[in-house]
Amino acid sequence: MIGFSPSSSRPSMRRVLKRLVTPPLVVLAVVVVLFEEYLWRWLARVGAWLGALPVVRGVERRVAELPPAAALAVLLTPASLAIPVKLAAVWMLASGHAVLGLEVLISAKVVGTALVARIYTLCEPALSTIPWFVRLRGRVIAAKDWAHRKLEATAAWRIGRRKLAALRRAPRGFLADRWRGIRRWLTLHRA
């Protein structure tokens, strides 16, 4: 007997959940990717600035001269040291210390990203001699490019980029206007 299944006319639960969950996850992914991208660039500049200090310059020179296996170990060190700190932050969040937990989590992310960015820059030549690392890096870059293409196709990405660009312009313009006003006032009141 051929019958009519009432469930065939309704969208499946999986499709409904996908429609409900995907937009917030895309927005979250856009925020995380934009933050990571901005943070990585900024922290790479800070790392280069710190690398110019005499004490740091000597350490960086030694790190850059490491053989491939040691370079890999040094690169993985900040990430492995951050795991217990991040677990402690999650424990703080779960224990009702939301602000402290978030502060620790964000601090661990910023410091860990800064260290990994700088160490990667220093160790990249040595790491590029490890065949499996080169293949893995290629796969990671391909996955990142795929994710970027997916995110860039969303309205949330375009809005996020516009907001970030406006945010980058606003403080400088605002501060520059204030500084010009202070200089004008000082010039007028010197006499």
Q: Is 32 a domain residue? A: yes
Residue 72 has pLDDT above 90, yes or no: yes
Q: Is 157 a domain residue? A: no
Q: How far is CA 139 from CA 18, 26, 73, 82, in A?
A: 26, 22, 20, 24
Hey, which of 18-22, 130-134, 152-156, 158-162 has the most confident mean pLDDT? 130-134
Q: Is 2 a domain residue? A: no
Q: Is 100 a domain residue? A: yes
The boundaries of the domain holding residue 83 are 24-142
Q: How far is CA 168 from CA 29, 78, 171, 173, in A?
A: 20, 29, 7, 9
Domain count, the chain: 1
pTM, two decimals, is 0.62
For the stretch 3-29, pLDDT in tens is 555 555 566 888 887 777 777 777 777
Q: Is 185 a domain residue? A: no
- Tell me the two tokens of residue 174: 């605002």
Q: How far is CA 27 from the centre of its chain?
A: 15
Determine the pLDDT at residue 42. 77
Place of tokens 């996908």: 18
CB of 29 closer than 8 Å to CB of 147: yes
Q: How far apart are CA 81 and CA 49, in angstroms?
A: 24
Q: Is 89 a domain residue? A: yes
What's the mean per-residue pLDDT of the chain? 80
